[in-house]
Amino acid sequence: MSATSHAHDEAGQAPLVGSLGVDSRKLGLWAFIGSETLFFTALITTHLIFYARTKATLAASGMLAHLDPKHYLGINLTTVLAAILLASSLTMVLALAASKSKEWAKFRFWLLATIILGSSFVLGQAYEFTHLYHEGLKLAPQYVFEGETVKSLFGVTFFVMTGFHGLHVTLGVVWLIAVYFKVRRFAASPENPMDVELVGLYWHFVDLVWVAIFTLVYLI
């Protein structure tokens, strides 16, 4: 107990260290990230399986060019989105470093940059979804495209997978905004660095998921 209190005095953190000797909130977030890893792996695996299973059929009927995003969107947009999310990870870690050294002006600048980059990613994905929908990719297992009935789960698995990622990014932006205003309102709170670290961990995780999606879905 005394060791725990001593650690808190040194770090200036709130007393939330559990019996494992680590901050319970951070441990909980890492456990959440572990479960999210399994969740996104399930979505990506399902997408890859249905993509492979329907690719040959769609290619034979000449539909692949219309149903595979990289055939008519190219990878230009998704490369920009990948760069945006990567840049936001950098600004996030710079915001964390600034919060630990209590440079609050720098912290606000880098966190605002992260919020803007994250919002840009969400807007870019919304544009991509709209474009894909108008090109014929639908969130349905069966639909009519240019007078021909298409049976494919490609659209469903694609939109569910990337949609859930986009939802995570959106929630991350909301969390970032909440932390921004909380730190601005309670600048002297000793919990600030940990609050920033927690949202940072989550934010880097959504970047990590995009690294996997960008490679496995858009490049391969």
Partner 1 sequence: MAEHATHDQHAEAHESHGTGFYWMVGGVLAVITAIEVAIFLVKDAIGHELFLAILFLLSIAKGVGVVMYFMHLRGDARIFQLVFIVPFTLAVTLCLGFLTIFSHHVGIAG
| Residues binding partner 1 (CB under 8 A) | 3-4, 7, 11, 17, 19-23, 26-27, 30-31, 33-35, 37-38, 41-42, 44-45, 48-49, 52-53, 56, 75, 79, 82-83, 86-87, 89-90, 92-94, 97, 100, 200-201, 204-205, 207-208, 211-212, 214-215, 219-220
By beta-carbon proximity to partner 1, the closer residue of 75 and 139 is: 75
Helix (H) or strand (E) holding 133: helix 104-135
Work out how close the CB of 93 gets to partner 1 at its nearest, in angstroms, rounded to a whole number.
5
Give dist(CA 91, CA 7) in Å, integer.
28
Give dist(CA 65, CA 55) in Å, integer.
10
Work out how close the CB of 185 gets to partner 1 at its nearest, in angstroms, rounded to a whole number.
26
By beta-carbon proximity to partner 1, the closer residue of 31 and 123 is: 31
CA 205 to chain centre: 6
Work out how close the CB of 58 gets to partner 1 at its nearest, in angstroms, rounded to a whole number.
14
Work out how close the CB of 5 gets to partner 1 at its nearest, in angstroms, rounded to a whole number.
11
DSSP assignment letter at 21: S
User: Side chain identity at 42, as an amino acid letter?
Assistant: A
* Cα separations in angstroms, 164 against 60, 123, 169: 31, 15, 9
